[in-house]
Structure 1
Amino acid sequence: MTILVTGATGIIGRQVVRHLLDRGQKVRALTRDPGRAVLPDGAEVAACDLTDAAGLEEAFDGVAAAHLINFGGDHQPLASGRDIVEAAERAGVGKVTVLAGWREGTLEPAVRASGLEWTFLEPVQFMANFLTDWGQALRSTGRVREPYGDRKSPPIDEYDIGAVAATVLTQDGHHGRSYHLTGPEVLTARGMVAIIGQVTRRDLRFEELTPDQVRREWSVPGGMPSLSLFRAFSQAAGVGDADLVEILLQMYGTPNEYGTALTDQVEQVIGRPPRTFAQWAAEHADHFRPAAAA
């Protein structure tokens, strides 16, 4: 059967494609710009913009299952959720996974109300985010300068999210489930910098900023560091840097039970424990070293 993967060139979509191909599945990988897509051999790369209903019929033609994302190119929740679900149902798609957990848009309720066999995947924090969040700073200065160094999270390797999606799409027994996906351990930001230091054999430090230092340094033009997707979300929503700083301070400084809770749902689905942050960091060690040392 052909399995459709939306957002195929993204952090998670790329891993879903990889795992499905490893399982011998036929994969149609959707991207807005196939000419720039770098995907594993064997994937059928197709052009489609999920925000444009016109191309959905062709995208879903001959597809038996699909991995869906709930946001478009601007990282805003999709307004075309009903169109996507209707196109999938007309094509005879039986099963879908939905990468959810950011902000609910029109896709999630349309999926729940449909006749599709659905499963929601809700990872809390991708380990891959630290490539953009900390990579440049650690390469150039050996320091991460942020507030609340003891804030906690159970980050998950994007490889494991892809494995969960591929398993759900190719096995039965997951309909109607929402999987809260985490790594195997709760770590602090300070502790993760220390782990990166160990695997790169560098003296890396977490330098804690006070909230007032953050307001002074990050609110000026060019002062805001690249922090995963929050800037993209905020720009699309028209939120300025000063307001974004307050949002981030509140998020970092307020313990969140859901965001720090460990689950065993990765192991329940794929039959092995999730990979550790140390394993992920060792795999990406060169990204955190200066170019001459990589």
Structure 2
Amino acid sequence: MNSPNVLIVGATGGVGGSLLRQLLALPRPPSIRVSTRNLAKAEFPSSVQAVQGDLEDASSYPMLFRGIDRVFMYAKPEVSFPQLLSAARDCGVTYMVLLSSMTVEFDPESIVGRLHREVEHAIKASGLQYTFLRPRNFSSNSRQFWVPQMEKTGKLWMAYPNAQTAPVSEDDMAGVALVSLTTDKLLNQAVGLSGPVSISQREQVNAINRLRVSEGKKPVELIILSPEEWKARQAGHMSAEFQDQLLTWWELTDGKPEMIQSSERITGKPSQSYDDWLLLNKAGFLKF
């Protein structure tokens, strides 16, 4: 195939940023446009075209999509995706790579599942070609959801410490997006993604503590609570509906290994385990 003109929506994010780096590392990078809601706060290489755009702002769609063949994007609840996709198609876009979610398969009526299912359906209905990337648990969720609690208290509360996932890294998700944007190998496919090893939440905390102790830091104390006690701890931090969904997912995976769907089967490169990811991102776990 000829080298496409590529747009990365959310190029300052974990997956989008990794995708940009991987595209630029190719022997012959495609033409790349990146978008951000605030150009003044973002820095990009001079070899890419940076534009200010917001998926919620339909007036920015022509600037985002005109002259673009393939788009990497994510789902956002505030966006009218039928309108966005119509504008993209009118501007010449032919292919959408969506960072979706495995909840489309295992819990389609959840908040997360409904959002991604609706966006996937909109893309199919638009007539655009597509690849849907369906990760389950991001490795970075432990940084996003656990570190604030650890940093504030030195403790971490859990209701299902033996619930298992195979955390997948931003780099591995981006690696599969790279294949989608630069080849037709994943044309009109939904791709499940996991890391290479299924581990429990307790084992993730143990890995964090091994890292902290090796760097002269105190280990984090893991405290096991009942589901009701855990919910009380989360009041004000997340909606009650999302709390219930997390507890349901953890109960379903309590002591049950996740099916492995690693990126290596697509990229041919070894996938990052949680320990691998942790070493690459250790600063966030050592700042307290």
Give yes or no for TM over 0.5: yes
Report 1:1-294 matches (<5 A).
1-23=4-26, 24-71=29-76, 76=77, 78=79, 80-101=80-101, 102=112, 103-104=115-116, 106-139=118-151, 141-200=153-212, 201=214, 202=217, 203-219=219-235, 224=237, 231=238, 234=239, 242-255=240-253, 260-264=258-262, 266-291=263-288
5+ long unaligned stretches in structure 2: 102-111
Relative to structure 2, which stretch is displaced further, 247-256 or 160-169?
A: 247-256
Give the TM-score normalised by the residue count of structure 2. 0.83
* Alignment check: 8 A CA contact 1:6 1:67 kept: yes
Relative to structure 2, which stretch is displaced further, 11-20 or 156-165?
A: 11-20
Distance of 1:279 and 1:272 partners within structure 2: 14
Alpha-carbon deviation of 1:63? 0.9
Distance of 2:184 and 2:231 partners within structure 1: 50
* Secondary structure in 1 matching 2:186: coil
Count of residue correspondences: 267
1:238-278 alpha-carbon deviations (Å, 9 max, x no partner): xxxx55544433332233999932214x1222112311111
Distance of 1:262 and 1:160 partners within structure 2: 13
* Alignment check: 8 A CA contact 1:100 1:120 kept: yes
Distance of 2:168 and 2:32 partners within structure 1: 24
* Secondary structure in 1 matching 2:121: helix
Alpha-carbon deviation of 1:40? 4.5
> Do the aligned partners of residues 183 and 243 (structure 1) sit closer, same or farther apart at CA in structure 2, a change above 3 Å counting?
closer
> Do the aligned partners of residues 51 and 110 (structure 1) sit closer, same or farther apart at CA in structure 2, a change above 3 Å counting?
same
* Secondary structure in 1 matching 2:69: strand
> Do the aligned partners of residues 45 and 115 (structure 1) sit closer, same or farther apart at CA in structure 2, a change above 3 Å counting?
same
Alpha-carbon deviation of 1:15? 1.7
* Alignment check: 8 A CA contact 2:160 2:254 kept: no
Alpha-carbon deviation of 1:66? 0.8
> Do the aligned partners of residues 216 and 98 (structure 1) sit closer, same or farther apart at CA in structure 2, a change above 3 Å counting?
closer
Alpha-carbon deviation of 1:127? 0.9
Alpha-carbon deviation of 1:134? 1.9
1:16-40 alpha-carbon deviations (Å, 9 max, x no partner): 2222222222221112111122444
> Do the aligned partners of residues 256 and 108 (structure 1) sit closer, same or farther apart at CA in structure 2, a change above 3 Å counting?
farther
Distance of 1:257 and 1:150 partners within structure 2: 5
> Do the aligned partners of residues 246 and 61 (structure 1) sit closer, same or farther apart at CA in structure 2, a change above 3 Å counting?
closer
Distance of 1:96 and 1:128 partners within structure 2: 24
Give the TM-score normalised by the residue count of structure 1. 0.81
> Do the aligned partners of residues 128 and 218 (structure 1) sit closer, same or farther apart at CA in structure 2, a change above 3 Å counting?
closer
* Alignment check: 8 A CA contact 1:124 1:259 kept: no
Relative to structure 2, which stretch is displaced further, 157-166 or 37-46?
A: 37-46
* Secondary structure in 1 matching 2:32: strand
* Secondary structure in 1 matching 2:162: coil
Q: Which amino acid aligns with 1:9?
A: T
5+ long unaligned stretches in structure 1: 225-230, 235-241
Distance of 2:281 and 2:208 partners within structure 1: 9
> Do the aligned partners of residues 196 and 92 (structure 1) sit closer, same or farther apart at CA in structure 2, a change above 3 Å counting?
same
Alpha-carbon deviation of 1:41? 4.8
> Do the aligned partners of residues 267 and 7 (structure 1) sit closer, same or farther apart at CA in structure 2, a change above 3 Å counting?
same
Distance of 1:259 and 1:51 partners within structure 2: 38
Alpha-carbon deviation of 1:135? 1.8
* Secondary structure in 2 matching 1:121: strand
Distance of 2:131 and 2:189 partners within structure 1: 5
Distance of 2:40 and 2:129 partners within structure 1: 32
Alpha-carbon deviation of 1:108? 1.9
> Do the aligned partners of residues 217 and 143 (structure 1) sit closer, same or farther apart at CA in structure 2, a change above 3 Å counting?
closer
Q: Which amino acid aligns with 1:143?
A: K
